[in-house]
């Protein structure tokens, strides 16, 4: 009758735990009441503890990927760079476990698009089975998936705010997305561009317009929800690096002729009614409200005298934008409550929400 005793710990593993997303995921798994971490791998830091890399990380031993016993776990999180992830995902699936893949390797459905954007090979049969795991929008598919492609941070942030409007055919013309991301999105491998002296006192625009890979991923989601026969709006995507560690803001301008800002607010509120991780409000979204949390915040502002509205969206790029959404997806795949281990007070129950 005592829940802690009856509760079964589900064994999981993490491949690529030493990057910023992998480390955040390791922290979440360590604190998760129903998951048990069997291995966390790192090729470059095998033999060390994760907290040697960053004292804010938990003290978890890193093992070489060759020493990870894939057969010992029910689910594997892959936090490897794109290109490196694809073949390993195939191997893991063949060994039995389910997979949540945080790389971009299985996110794009169209094979030609994948090749032109990423340029690296992947397994067509595996790609066929992959489910895109933007949980609030695709959770029924996630429930049955053996492989979930965990969305990118920018695509999560942008699509949460735009997809409901496109789905209701409220948008006319291009969507203009101006995104500002904390530096942790660039990972922990040493590069000149992510040094403190390169990032501080600056806001750096990069890959503007159509040059960032995530633009295609956003467009795919918008097309997926667009009414039958309607092309999704053109996406203009301007990403920036800002001198903060965690968190991300997208400021998005859309033309919604015939629909007021109040209509847009209603559409978002209707879409996310009852969602524990999504807050919709009539004020601009704030990074400070979601940093170090699994949540997203969406805000709607009018542009007086025009038929445009501004939709703002914030997430933690390592949280809802990576590791927390991976937990959300894994919880569903494993039959656990969706936000278990993410929201204080949500303990394991037999019935999923």
Query: Does residue number 116 form part of the binding site for its own copies (CB under 8 A)?
Result: no
**How far from the centroid of its chain's Cα atoms is residue 114's Cα?**
18
Task: Please select the residue that binds its own copies; options are 95, 211, 260, 270, rule is CB under 8 A.
Answer: 211
Q: Shortest Cβ distance from residue 140 to its own copies (Å)? A: 29
Under a CB-based contact definition with an 8 Å cutoff, are residues 153 and 309 in contact? no
Q: What angle do CA 293, 212, 271 make, to 5 degrees?
A: 45
Query: Does residue number 56 form part of the binding site for its own copies (CB under 8 A)?
Result: yes
Burial 258-277, CB ≥16 within 10 A → b, else e: ebebebbbbbbbebbeebbb
Report 155-184 residues binding its own copies (CB under 8 A). 174, 176, 178, 180, 183-184
Nearer to its own copies, 4 or 229 (CB): 4
How far is residue 164's CA from residue 102's CA, in Å, rounded to a whole number? 24
Q: Which of 51, 57, 79, 153 is catalytic?
A: 153
Report 219-278 residues binding its own copies (CB under 8 A). 234, 236, 238, 240, 242-247, 249, 251, 253
Q: Shortest Cβ distance from residue 3 to its own copies (Å)? A: 7
**How far from the centroid of its chain's Cα atoms is residue 287's Cα?**
16
Nearer to its own copies, 70 or 309 (CB): 309
Q: What angle do CA 182, 164, 225 make, to 5 degrees?
A: 100
How far is residue 122's CA from residue 105's CA, in Å, rounded to a whole number? 7
Tokens of 60: 């978890």
Q: Shortest Cβ distance from residue 16 to its own copies (Å)? A: 16
Please state whether beta strands 75-78 and 10-15 pair in parallel, antiparallel, or not at all (unpaired): parallel
How far is residue 82's CA from residue 41's CA, in Å, rounded to a whole number? 16
Query: Does residue number 110 form part of the binding site for its own copies (CB under 8 A)?
Result: no
Handedness of CA 60, 73, 44, 184 (dihedral sign): negative
Q: Shortest Cβ distance from residue 268 to its own copies (Å)? A: 16
Nearer to its own copies, 11 or 187 (CB): 187
Report 291-350 residues binding its own copies (CB under 8 A). 291-292, 299, 301-306, 308-310, 312, 344-345, 347
Task: Please select the residue that binds its own copies; options are 269, 284, 346, 348, rule is CB under 8 A.
Answer: 284
Q: Shortest Cβ distance from residue 173 to its own copies (Å)? A: 8
Nearer to its own copies, 152 or 247 (CB): 247
Report 82-101 residues binding its own copies (CB under 8 A). none
Task: Please select the residue that binds its own copies; options are 196, 228, 229, 258, rule is CB under 8 A.
Answer: 196
Task: Please select the residue that binds its own copies; options are 7, 31, 116, 141, rule is CB under 8 A.
Answer: 31
153 is catalytic: yes
Nearer to its own copies, 94 or 303 (CB): 303
Task: Please select the residue that binds its own copies; options are 7, 48, 129, 204, rule is CB under 8 A.
Answer: 204
Task: Please select the residue that binds its own copies; options are 6, 71, 124, 192, rule is CB under 8 A.
Answer: 192
Contacts of 171 (CB under 8 A, 6+ apart): 162, 165, 233, 254, 255, 256
Q: What angle do CA 346, 350, 353 make, to 5 degrees?
A: 60
Task: Please select the residue that binds its own copies; options are 43, 64, 139, 188, rule is CB under 8 A.
Answer: 188
How far is residue 33's CA from residue 348's CA, in Å, rounded to a whole number? 8
Q: CA 44 → CA 49, 193, 203, 271, distances in Å?
A: 12, 21, 31, 43
Residue bearing tokens 């492989």 = 147
Report 4-23 residues binding its own copies (CB under 8 A). 4, 20
Nearer to its own copies, 89 or 287 (CB): 287
Nearer to its own copies, 33 or 87 (CB): 33
Task: Please select the residue that binds its own copies; options are 5, 6, 8, 55, rule is CB under 8 A.
Answer: 55
Strands (E), 282-329: 296-302, 308-315
Known catalytic residues? Answer: 153
């Amino acid at each position: 009758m005592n829940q802690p005793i009856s509760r079964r710990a589900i064994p999981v593993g993490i491949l690529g735990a030493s990057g910023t997303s992998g480390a955040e995921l390791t922290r979440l798994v360590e604190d998760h009441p129903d998951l048990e971490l069997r291995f966390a791998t790192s090729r470059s830091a095998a033999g060390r503890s994760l907290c040697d890399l960053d004292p804010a990380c938990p003290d978890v031993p890193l093992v070489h990927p060759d020493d990870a016993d894939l057969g010992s776990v029910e689910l594997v999180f892959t936090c490897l760079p794109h290109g490196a992830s694809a073949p390993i995902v195939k191997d893991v699936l063949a060994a039995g476990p389910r997979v949540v893949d945080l790389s971009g390797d299985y996110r794009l459905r169209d094979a030609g698009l994948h090749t032109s954007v990423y340029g690296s090979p992947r397994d067509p049969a595996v790609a066929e089975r992959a489910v895109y795991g933007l949980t609030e929008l695709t959770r029924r598919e996630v429930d049955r998936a053996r492989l979930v492609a965990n969305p990118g941070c920018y695509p999560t942030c942008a699509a949460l705010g735009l997809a409901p409007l496109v789905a209701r055919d409220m948008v006319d013309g291009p969507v203009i997305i101006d995104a500002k991301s904390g530096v942790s999105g660039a990972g922990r491998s040493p590069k000149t561009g992510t040094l403190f002296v390169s990032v501080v006192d600056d806001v750096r625009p990069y890959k503007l317009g159509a040059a960032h890979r995530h633009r295609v991923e956003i467009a795919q989601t918008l097309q997926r929800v667009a009414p039958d026969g309607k092309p999704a709006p053109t996406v203009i995507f301007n990403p920036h690096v800002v001198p903060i560690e965690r968190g991300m803001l997208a400021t998005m301008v859309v033309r919604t002729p015939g629909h007021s800002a109040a209509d847009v607010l209603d559409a978002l509120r209707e879409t996310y009614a009852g969602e524990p991780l999504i807050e919709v409000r009539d004020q601009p979204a704030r990074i400070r409200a979601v940093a170090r949390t699994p949540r997203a915040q969406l805000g709607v502002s009018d542009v007086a005298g025009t038929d445009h509205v501004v939709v703002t969206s914030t997430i933690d790029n390592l949280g809802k934008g990576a590791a927390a959404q991976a937990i959300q997806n894994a919880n569903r795949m494993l039959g656990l409550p969706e936000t278990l281990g993410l929201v204080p007070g949500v303990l394991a129950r037999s019935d999923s929400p």
